[in-house]
């Protein structure tokens, strides 16, 4: 593919102007995922040439990168070469991967050494039968706690993905899921109502069973109930989904989850990132309208800076230096946040 014409992007309008994709698709085949429908008739997973990916990264100014890949660790050889090439670039980056890829081998350690500071993880459900029914076999028999502990030990924050409304989900699924996420120090959580996207095996199954209740594709956004759940009433599923977001992002819940970490710096990092993720939506809307998102990028980099152990002097210098640079923004953010609340 030709190099991206990044000169066409107005960088000052984005919090994360350095978004990048170095792989396409995913090697897994979950029944609810759009990927197999999107790549129907062809290969479902592609990687860029490593040298091309590194050249694209080298062209990007600043420190922060956001890999939009569905599964950044999906091809071990590619990922090893990518992270090896990125060592020494002093990048801070975010990405996504699966439970099994985090537990297998030392690839996640290589990613952390290259600058990985936050990762989206598809936990999806705490019920093994739901995993079997949805063909998410890569999560079966995996220790979710071990995933969280390993990532935390490397100073990597976790954005946990959870799906409600699978066929084994009853009324207790919302509290069980939120409690587990808080107790294991998950930094941010993305909750979803199960959505049978057209072209997926899940959609075909629900059509066959007569469970689809609407074909208004505007509602197929993981926020609305568009099918008949097996054990939950549709209104209970929607209410539970809304409750989970509200409960997980309560100030008290954010504080409890942050205390899971062993050092004050890591606790502060968790608290500020989780708070900024969901508690200040009014402020983010204001910054977007004012086209001032770029001014907050140093603050994002400060929160993403490396924090591992109390004895990590280099980590302390990095975190302290970034925080000092970002502190100039705090009075502005505080004033705008107060204005947004009014």
Residue 77 vs residues 24, 83, 86, 107, 152: alpha-carbon distances, Å: 15, 10, 14, 10, 24
Residues 136, 202 contacting (CB under 8 angstroms) = no
What is the pTM (predicted TM-score) of this model? 0.88
pLDDT of amino acid 188:
97
Sign of CA dihedral 152, 156, 157, 160: negative
- Does the pLDDT at position 309 exceed 70? no
pLDDT band at 315 (very low <50, low <70, confident <90, very high): very low
DSSP letter for 26, please.
-
The DSSP annotation for 271-335 comes to HHHHHHHHTTHHHHHHHHHTT-GGGGHHHHHHHHS----TT-HHHHHHHHHHHHHHHTTHHHHHH
- End-to-end CA gap in the chain: 48
Cβ neighbours around 338 below 10 Å, total: 10
Sign of CA dihedral 134, 139, 145, 148: negative
Instruction: State the average pLDDT over residues 114-135.
Output: 97
pLDDT of amino acid 38:
81
Instruction: State the average pLDDT over residues 155-166.
Output: 97
Question: Which distant-in-sequence residues (6+ apart) come within 8 Å of 287 by Cβ?
Answer: 293, 295, 296, 336
pLDDT of amino acid 313:
44
φ/ψ of residue 319, rounded to 5: -65, -45
pLDDT of amino acid 317:
46
DSSP letter for 184, please.
T
pLDDT tens digits along 223-235: 999 999 999 999 9
pLDDT tens digits along 63-77: 999 999 999 999 999
φ/ψ of residue 120, rounded to 5: -90, 125
- Does the pLDDT at position 312 exceed 80? no
pLDDT tens digits along 262-298: 889 899 999 999 999 888 888 999 999 999 999 899 9
Cβ neighbours around 15 below 10 Å, total: 17
């Amino acid at each position: 593919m030709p190099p991206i014409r990044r000169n066409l992007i107005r960088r000052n309008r984005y919090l994360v102007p350095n978004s990048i994709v170095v792989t396409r698709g995913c090697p897994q085949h979950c029944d609810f995922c759009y990927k197999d429908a999107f790549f129907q008739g062809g290969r479902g997973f592609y990687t860029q040439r490593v040298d091309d990916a590194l050249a694209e990264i080298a062209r990007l100014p600043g420190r922060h990168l956001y890999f939009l890949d569905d599964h950044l660790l999906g091809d071990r050889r590619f990922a090893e070469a990518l992270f090896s090439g990125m060592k020494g670039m002093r990048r801070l980056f975010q990405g996504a991967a699966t439970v099994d890829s985090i537990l297998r081998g030392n690839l996640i350690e290589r990613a952390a050494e290259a600058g990985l500071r936050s990762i989206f993880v598809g936990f999806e459900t705490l019920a093994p039968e739901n995993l079997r029914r949805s063909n998410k076999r890569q999560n079966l028999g995996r220790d979710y706690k071990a995933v969280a502990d390993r990532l935390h030990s490397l100073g990597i924050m976790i954005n946990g993905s959870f799906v409600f409304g699978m066929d084994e989900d009853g009324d207790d699924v919302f509290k069980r899921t939120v409690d587990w996420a808080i107790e294991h120090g998950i930094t941010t959580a993305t909750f979803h109502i199960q959505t049978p996207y057209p072209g997926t095996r899940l959609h075909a199954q629900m059509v066959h069973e007569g469970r689809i209740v609407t074909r208004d594709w505007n509602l197929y956004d993981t926020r609305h109930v568009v099918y008949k759940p097996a054990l939950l009433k549709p209104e209970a599923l929607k209410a539970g989904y809304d409750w989970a977001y509200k409960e997980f992002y309560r100030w008290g819940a954010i504080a409890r989850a942050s205390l899971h970490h062993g050092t004050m710096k890591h606790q502060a990092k968790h608290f500020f990132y989780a708070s900024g993720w969901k508690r200040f939506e009014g402020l983010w809307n204001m910054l977007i309208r004012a086209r001032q998102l770029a001014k907050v990028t140093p603050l994002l980099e400060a929160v993403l800076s490396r924090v591992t152990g109390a004895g990590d002097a280099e980590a302390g210098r990095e975190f302290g230096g970034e925080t000092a640079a970002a502190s100039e923004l705090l009075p502005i953010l505080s004033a705008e946040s107060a204005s947004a609340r009014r």
